[in-house]
Structure 1
Amino acid sequence: MTVTVVTGANKGLGYETARRLVAEGHTVYAAARDPDRAGRAARELGARPLLLDVTDEESVRRAAAHVADAHGALDVLVNNAGVNGGMKAVGDCTAADMTAVLDTNVVGIVRVLHAFLPLLGRSAAGVVVNVGSGLGSFGRVHDAARAESRVSSVPYTASKAAVSMLTVQYARAYPGLRVNVVDPGPTATDLNGHQGVQTVEEGAEPIVRAALLGPDGPTGAFLDGDGVSPW
């Protein structure tokens, strides 16, 4: 049995990722911060509901304890939950804007990893997938030919750059795990007002691939639909 937790699994990329992993035979916990949404998603997906708010330390602790009591270990963790913080001009960004986005997109991942790492360590081949973005890639944002260079969103882009560095640090600290960051590409979801050009099925593909990595797969890497990508 492969036990998997997907955060933010009640819609969008998280929902599709959970659906695909259920189809792969995983025992999937569809995690969401609202119990009704978690329950509805779990029923629709054939998954198990998990109440988990990445901004709430106690909620995360309880979620980890629930999985520990049920299974004793965790095989795959997909850190998908995130917010975009709106599309303000750079000069209009406030400290409050920044704090709100970082608390979910960056500190939230740290909260979840801190709680679940002991369980991942008990897996024979633990995997962590951090859902990032090409908007967090310095190379892409500096490339005038790419769409990422034309997006101004200080909190979101900075948060995704931070997720990339988090990934590298955790991968180095836990060489027995496969810890990677995945850019799903410009996917049409609630997060971007359905402005992306990809379907959720297309966007979830590299996330699912990373979740299915074996012990010989890459770690500390930036992955996208084409495989390992430059930072």
Structure 2
Amino acid sequence: MSLRVYYDLMSQPSRAVYLFLKVANIPFESCTVKLRDGEHFEEAFTKINPFQKVPVIDDAGFKLTESVAILRYLVRSRNVADHWYSSDLQLQAKVDEYLEWQHLNTRLFCAMYFRHKFLEPMMFNRPVEEKKVARFQKEMEKCLEVIENIWLDHGKKDFITGPNISVADLLACCELEQPGMAGYDVFQKHPIIGAYRERVRKATEPHYEEAHKIVRIVTHKFLGVPRDSKL
């Protein structure tokens, strides 16, 4: 098998790439990298990705990092449905619009809330810095309002860029899942986003929950949410 994919399903961008590969039925060899054990800092992985991050792909010797670049490459190099990243230049540009916006919005604030509310206190056995958490929560909630009111047009749009699912929706939902492990249920607190997540889940069945199995396990273990709950 020519395509190797290095990932950890605790990583939001890893989940987006993994989910796309599964839904688009693209064969690949799974190469898991345990972030919690620091495997991404080991010499063997650093040779694969000097940035020491996941996901990474190795397509018959061609290595590529960064989830957005990976998704674009996979769409262009494999035979996948056009709705994922349309060949129509204007529709494609609308997907790109979200992909550029999300770096300093959905990705940044959902990740930083999770990191400071849950990840760092757990990993380093130290108390939560409540002021820092409150700051990131405030910014995250502003971002969630933008998603509801602008990207989803107050619930009038089915998906980020219109009536059809695209790679933008995979990246969005995988980021929106992350705060749940730190006790902030995005989908319950923001019903428009909750309904949107259900459409994405339905469009990617049965792979959505498979990609989020670690999220569900961690949420169950640390927050007491039933393991079979889809949050």
Greater strand proportion: 1
Greater helix proportion: 2
* TM surpasses 0.5: no
Larger Rg: 2
TM-score (norm 1): 0.34
TM-score (norm 2): 0.34
